[in-house]
Amino acid sequence: MTEITDELVIRGNHIKNRIVMPPMVTFSFHGDNGSYYGKQHIEHYTKRAKGGAGFIIVQATSVFGAVDSTGMWSAGDILALKQIASNCHGYNAIVMMQLHCGNLDINELSVEDVHSMQRNMKQAAIRACEMGFDGVEYHFAHGYTLCKFLDASYNHRTDQYGGDVLNRSRVLTQVLPEIRNNTRKNFIVSVRMGEYLPESRDGIEAAKTFEKAGIDLLHISFGMQPPTNPVPDGFICSPITYSGCKIKKEVKIPVIAVNEIRTEEQVRFLIENDYVDFAAVGRGMLADPDFANHVINGEPVNTCLGCERCFWFTDSTFCPAGKDE
């Protein structure tokens, strides 16, 4: 039986347990002196690393600006992000950065637009590596730009970026060799994606395509829309979480499942039954920065109350479960 505290090695990176902090933009946090990232972010991630999360994925960061050091790639941002990576390592957490390509209409992009985005996608990974991050996660989920490339019902391109799954994943797979050539040998490249794209078989096909291209890790959330299919009897997590379990059966690379995982029972259920390799706990870890240590030590968790709209989207100080940052 797999234990929550069993180490898992990805590309030489030793991940000390199976509890992941998924990417979450902390909307009420500000950077310092005009930067996007700052002291609040550093404290926020350091607390979760101290709280035992084995694997931390820093929030969606736009790739745009990576080539010319603007936007989220300014000097002040780099300083803060470097500190986040270093502090997480201080608590033996592996730390990646989620890379985001905005919410563009991919059917309207010229080939030059796609190439320009790819240059930023590559440069962002190289810079994350230079800042001390252990890897990057490309955000192919939740209906955003990269998700639209992957979804066969949305992508109507007739060039090399539309059509079959090789073409729909090419926006990343084409630049992967250059990313590998310009980052450390053990730098993790991961994809966050959905399983229904728009059918389950499409998600499975895309997952296998990424695996074959050399992606190290898959983080399964949802694609253009959340799945509505019911879960099997006795499965105590959500349909989105079940999507991760379905992909896990189809690939050999590690898989993270996510969504509404809030209790020790659910984490144990997923990991100890080998449904997936990692359980990501988002709002649960916002409500309780020590979530991972509490679960590992069998201590009570300060449980997320599952508000209709999470207050961390607006002002985290209103989180009824949180003790505020």
Q: What torsion, rounded to 10 degrees, do the Cα atoms 220, 226, 232, 235 define?
A: 60
Candidate ranges 10-18, 151-159, 162-170, 259-267; the one touching ligand FMN (CB under 6 A): 259-267
Q: From residue 151 to residue 190, what is the string marking binding to ligand FMN with x (rule CB under 6 A)?
A: ----------------------------------------
> 317 to each of 7, 29, 130, 287, 312, how far by Cα in Å?
34, 10, 33, 11, 8
For every residue of 43-70, which 3-state class applies, written as one string?
Answer: HHHHHHHHCCCCEEEEEEEECCCCCCCC
CB of 223 to ligand FMN, least distance (A): 12
| C-beta separation of 197 from 168 below 8 A | no
Instruction: For residue 192, state whether it binds ligand FMN (rule: CB under 6 A).
Output: yes
Task: Please pick, from the candidates 13, 74, 87, 98, the single residue that binds ligand FMN as defined by CB under 6 A.
Answer: 98
Q: Which is nearer to ligand FMN, 33 or 320 (CB)?
A: 320
CB of 290 to ligand FMN, least distance (A): 16
Instruction: For residue 321, state whether it binds ligand FMN (rule: CB under 6 A).
Output: no
Instruction: For residue 148, state whether it binds ligand FMN (rule: CB under 6 A).
Output: no
Instruction: For residue 48, state whether it binds ligand FMN (rule: CB under 6 A).
Output: no
Angle of helix 239-248 relative to helix 200-213, nearest 10 degrees? 50
Candidate ranges 68-76, 154-162, 171-179, 255-263; the one touching ligand FMN (CB under 6 A): 255-263
CB of 27 to ligand FMN, least distance (A): 6
Instruction: For residue 221, state whether it binds ligand FMN (rule: CB under 6 A).
Output: yes
CA 16 to chain centre: 18
Instruction: Look at the block and give the residue holding tokens 């590309």.
Output: 11
Q: Which is nearer to ligand FMN, 190 or 259 (CB)?
A: 259
Instruction: For residue 275, state whether it binds ligand FMN (rule: CB under 6 A).
Output: no
Both tokens assigned to 287: 């409500």
Instruction: For residue 312, state whether it binds ligand FMN (rule: CB under 6 A).
Output: yes
Q: Which is nearer to ligand FMN, 157 or 194 (CB)?
A: 194
Instruction: For residue 255, state whether it binds ligand FMN (rule: CB under 6 A).
Output: no
Candidate ranges 114-122, 127-135, 172-180, 308-316; the one touching ligand FMN (CB under 6 A): 308-316
CB of 24 to ligand FMN, least distance (A): 4
Both tokens assigned to 318: 């209103």
Residues binding ligand FMN (CB under 6 A): 22-25, 59-60, 98, 139, 141-142, 192, 221, 258-261, 281-284, 310, 312-313
